[in-house]
Amino acid sequence: MLLSRDIRKFRRLSDEGVTKFLKLKEVYEDDKLKITVCGSTDIGVSFVVQVDGLTVYHAGDNNNWIFPDEMDAREMKMMEGCFLATLRDMKVLFGTFDLVMFPIDPRLGNEMGRGAMQFLQAFPTRVFVPMHFGLSYSAAAGFSNTMAAFDCIYLPAHHTGEVLVDRLS
């Protein structure tokens, strides 16, 4: 099991069963896969996993977390700058993604897809899977029209426990 180093530091998790605790910008590689630890604008890190010729991005909590009702203009500008900096850091290492799992969070109101669109403008992506939307399946699915402009397969879940790979076949 590979985990972000902050889990060990803040959660006091035992090392039992953990292969390695990874830190920001660290790369783990074995004979099957390569994992690059990337930044996040919130708790933890994000990961790029390269396996079987595929490049997969799991954003974790990396997003342009703009809450217009809770932030002033300066805070929103700082958040956007931090998010775009994480994308610039990734752009040095990666050009395209086969699969991206990224937050589409309805709590952000009209800004819920801002980070996703900025990500897709920076990185052509074959399949985009929204996450971080809780049980608001309709909000995630409702974002399909916006995502169509990015020439990727948009694959939102419609219910708990759904196996999304089945829908790609």
Q: Is the model's pLDDT at 165 over the cut of 80?
A: no
CA distance 33 to 35: 7
Mean pLDDT of the chain: 90
CB 144 within 8 A of CB 154: yes
Give the pLDDT band of residue 16 (cuts 50, 70, 90): confident
pTM of the model: 0.91
Q: Is the model's pLDDT at 63 over the cut of 90?
A: yes
What's the pLDDT score for residue 23?
A: 87
Q: Is the model's pLDDT at 162 over the cut of 80?
A: yes
What's the pLDDT score for residue 1?
A: 63
Can you list the positions of beta strands (E) in the chain?
Answer: 2-4, 20-22, 27-29, 33-38, 46-51, 54-58, 97-103, 125-131, 153-154
Q: Where are the alpha helices (DSSP H) in the chain?
A: 5-11, 73-91, 114-122, 137-141, 144-147, 165-168
**For the chain, which domains are there?**
30-168 (3.60.15.10)
> Which residues are CB-neighbours of 73 under 8 A, at least 6 positions away?
none
Q: Are strands 33-38 and 54-58 parallel, antiparallel or unpaired?
A: unpaired
At position 114, the amino acid (one-letter code) is R
Q: Where are the alpha helices (DSSP H) in 101-143?
A: 114-122, 137-141
Q: Is the model's pLDDT at 131 over the cut of 70?
A: yes
Residue 19: count other Cβ atoms within 10 Å of its Cβ: 11
What's the pLDDT score for residue 123?
A: 98
CB 158 within 8 A of CB 144: no
Percent of the chain with pLDDT strictly greater than 90:
70
Q: Is the model's pLDDT at 13 over the cut of 70?
A: no
